[in-house]
Chain A
Amino acid sequence: MTSRHTVNEHHMTLTERMKVLSEGTKYDSCNQSAVCHAFGPDGRCIQLYKTLLTNSCSGECSYCPNRCGRDSVKASLTPEEITKITWSFYRKNAIEGLFLSSGVIGDAENTAEKQLEVARLLRNQGFTGYIHMRVMPGTPLYLLEEIADYANKFGVNAETTSSVNYSEICPNFDYKSDVLQRLKWTRDLINKKRKEVGYGGRIVGANDTQFVVGALSEPDREIVQTVDKFMDKYELRRPYFMSFDPVPSTPLENNPSSPQWREIRLYQTSYLLKDYGLKAFDFDMVYDDNGFLMDSDPKILLAQSHPERFPVNINSASLNELLLVPGIGPVGANRIVRSRPISSEKELMRMGVVISRARPFIEINGKRQTNLASFMEAS
């Protein structure tokens, strides 16, 4: 097997190696809320040149195609090659910057040093674009501090919700010290950097992390609670979710893949935590008996499980009450509050409210949609 790797890598062109290593990052999400430059046929935006330094990895993560000992094509790019490709795409306005991850090269410290070399090289050449680095669990603090000087965003992936789960899928690392401690350090470094550069300086991205959904049997309730806890404790701004897909020749190859909708529902729930001020316990009514989300919009389920809260009067409800109405988002709620009195559904539509969703839950000037319950009450 070793000979195959060696032969492959030595006989591969730059383009071939680039292809292998970019494919290794296609499951990583890297939204930085700036300019996207293309959208893949799956609808995900492409705004950074995403690559691994190498896909040779000494880790044995049970879900990962790059895990140690798995027979696959191995490749790597030198810092100079990554820099050259990044510059070419950047000048062509095809990207906004670089997303750099890697397989573990020996240990986390050595890997971070190699990643840092790329960032340092780019910045020394005058690169002002965006650099996002995913560091390995266990990266030492002194290297994170240096990475913070060069990268706009950096962080470590939590992958799962607890130490027990983590030891099952990533046996080489310790959840508490290698992941949670790093999340705490990145939070502190981000706050420090933001104070240093202030507004108008370079972008310093918020703390983020990624979860693999469905590799283990942890229920959604546990994931949502973890996200909520991370938001409070580590100032996590946005969690990313990656649906598990079994990879051949890995210990989890016979596990079923996670349905796509589960990832979508988790994202919707995370937005409700992030932008609507809800907490994990608010969703207790939304899960099924096993603690999993159902394939339905969690905001609608939440509204349906609290009929006593509705209908809300559009002209007198508070901002928080409006935010709980399906079809009304933070922007729409703000517009409503600042444009009262509202006299018709047409006005609401012009303000961006999805009236077909909101109609059963609102009342305008004493008028509301009739439902069976109100009909029964009247009779």
Chain B
Amino acid sequence: MIIAFKKNVEGVLLACHELRESPGSDLIYADTLDELKSKISFSGFEDDVWTLGFKPVTNCSDLATRILGKRKSRMFQRDPGVEKYIDLVLRHSSCSPVELVHFICSCAGNADQLYSGKSPTGKRFYNYMRDVTRAYHRLCMFARPDFVNGILTVEVNSPHRIGDMFCRWLAGKNPDLPVSVIENDIAWIGNGRYIGLENFTNVRSSFIQSLSFSREDDELDQLWDVYYDSQMIENRRNKRHAKQLQPKSSASVSEMSRRDRYKVERGIANCTLDEFNA
């Protein structure tokens, strides 16, 4: 038998449930039904295929409890719950959903194994979850949106699929403005009701990019630089620590972070050419 599941939390949990019932089954996954059909036709095994998760009908919380038990499994206050854990792992660029289903089944109802990192596979998936969380946090920290025709817009370029998560966060932070997060060819829109769209939706990124771009923030950038420099305590400079907190990759997220990162690396100049001339 082949278990075909959608690459989302519900699909993974349903596949786990089904795999426990029929342990020898093969697994395939897809993002959409069309992709699934092409995968199945390519494999040549069109009979005896169980399709799961493409029609959202299941209560994921109940399903997660049935598969991994009732016990509160988080070991660290910032660890997400089981469903969020699966969601985050699935967003990782290296995640294999089939392997994830096998791993969850191997936990045999003990959700602690998702978080403890005791086994090498458990540690790898835990690290995937942390990688995605970290990438999302870095966007929240270092992305600097601009106004494009009244829409707060930012372009992100993460290896993991986190554009929608970031868009929800940005929309929550600015509930009175429409926001847009451009991720490759998709633009996620938050608070879309202000521009006649659904409150949270996505459109083709060309739609946002076609809007005339007006950047009026040079003065603000200068003001930020003045503020950033004012917070420096020279005798406490700790380059190594600062570099760990603001890694090199963060510099590519926005122009402002690039300048901040440069100052972490080189320090803040305490004299200028004007002072020499004077």
Q: A residues engaging B (CB < 8 A)? A: 15, 18-19, 22-23, 26-27, 35-46, 49-50, 85, 88-89, 91-94, 126, 128-129, 245, 260, 331, 334-335, 338-339, 342, 347, 350-352
Contact = CB atoms under 8 A, between A and B. Distances in A.
12 contacts: A15-B222, A22-B227, A22-B231, A38-B228, A40-B233, A42-B238, A92-B145, A92-B220, A92-B224, A335-B115, A350-B123, A351-B116
Contacts of A35: 137, 140-141
Nearest to B257: A38
Interface in B159-180: 170, 173-177
A80 B217 CA distance: 20
B230 A22 contact: yes
- Top 3 nearest A-B pairs (CB, nearest first) are A43-B241, A339-B116, A22-B230
B237 to A, nearest CB: 5
Given A18-B223, A19-B226, A23-B230, A42 B236 contact: yes
B232 A26 contact: yes
Nearest to B111: A338
Given A40-B242, A128-B175, A15 B152 contact: no
A94 B173 CA distance: 12
> Most chain-A Cβ atoms within 10 A of its Cβ — which of B152, B227, B239?
B227
A352 B222 CA distance: 42
B237 A41 contact: yes
A44 B244 CA distance: 11
Contacts of B76: 331, 334
Nearest to B241: A43
A348 to B, nearest CB: 9
Residue of A45, A89, A128, A350 contacting most chain B CB atoms (<10 Å): A350
A19 B232 CA distance: 12
A22 B75 CA distance: 39
Nearest to B221: A92
A267 B54 CA distance: 52
Given A18-B226, A26-B231, A92-B145, A338 B236 contact: no
Interface string B174-198: 1111000000000000000000000
A40 B173 contact: no
A302 B209 CA distance: 60
Interface in B199-248: 217, 220, 222-224, 226-233, 235-239, 241-242, 244-246
Interface string B89-130: 000000000000000000000001101111010010000000
B17 interface: no
Given A15-B223, A19-B230, A41-B242, A92 B144 contact: yes
A32 B9 CA distance: 32
A18 B177 CA distance: 27
A351 B117 contact: yes
Contacts of B116: 335, 338-339, 351
Nearest to B220: A88
A245 B175 CA distance: 43
A335 B116 CA distance: 5
